[in-house]
Amino acid sequence: MAISERLGGAALQASTHRSALLYRLKAHVLAHLQNPDLGLTETAAALGISPRYVNSLLADEDTSFQRFVLAQRLERCRRDLASPAHAHRHIGEIAFAWGFNDLSHFGRVFRDHYGLSPRDWRHSRLPN
């Protein structure tokens, strides 16, 4: 019984450690989301873990580093495009502010993710 308790405790400790690292990873990404050079290698180094382990942590949530970063950037752009407070800003300005560095790529992935172009999304959400 003592061995199983130890193994259970070790598994719980490993799970807690992974959860804490995942939290730190996400916090780091969100804090640096606006940096277009945010990358897997640099993020892993900042956390003191390997790039492979970064993707292992995110695989637990069925995503990868690149997909997580893209989804977070798209969500911030979607939010800003729908906000009356950002109605005066150009679409490209919003995209670049959230770390995109290619407007064509932004438009494609936005449409793929939300089913509308950034311009159409904005017009459908903002009051006339």
pLDDT tens sequence across 8-40? 555 556 578 899 999 999 999 999 999 999 999
Same domain? For 14 and 43 the reply is: yes
CA geometry: angle 122, 73, 52, nearest 5 deg: 160
Q: Give the mean model confidence (pLDDT) for residues 116-127.
A: 91
> What is the reported pLDDT for 127?
74
Residue 62 has pLDDT above 80, yes or no: yes
88 and 46 fall within a common domain: no
Q: What is the pLDDT of residue 1?
A: 46
Claim to verify: residue 39 and residue 89 sit in the same structural domain = no
Over the chain, what is the mean pLDDT? 90
pLDDT of residue 5: 55
Residue-range definition of the domain harbouring residue 91: 69-125
Q: In terms of domains, do 55 and 12 share one?
A: yes
93 and 79 within one domain: yes
Residues 6 or more apart whose Cβ sits within 8 Å of residue 96: 36, 103
Q: Which carries the bigger pLDDT value, residue 87 or residue 125? A: 87
Are both 56 and 12 inside the same structural domain?
yes
DSSP state at residue 117: -
Does residue 107 carry a pLDDT above 90? yes
- b (16+ CB within 10 A) / e for 103-120: eeebbebbeeebeeebee
Whether 57 and 75 map to the same domain: the answer is no
Give the Cα separation of 117 and 125 in Å (integer): 12
CA 26 remoteness from chain centre = 7
Q: How many other C-beta atoms lie within 10 A of the C-beta of residue 64?
A: 15
Residue linked to tokens 């956390």: 47
Does pLDDT of 85 surpass 60? yes
Return the beta strands (E) in the chain as ranges.
Answer: none
Same domain, 59 and 7: yes
Q: What is the pLDDT of residue 11?
A: 52
**Same domain membership, residue 37 and residue 17:** yes
Host H or E run for residue 127: none
Number of independent structural domains in the chain: 2
pTM: 0.86
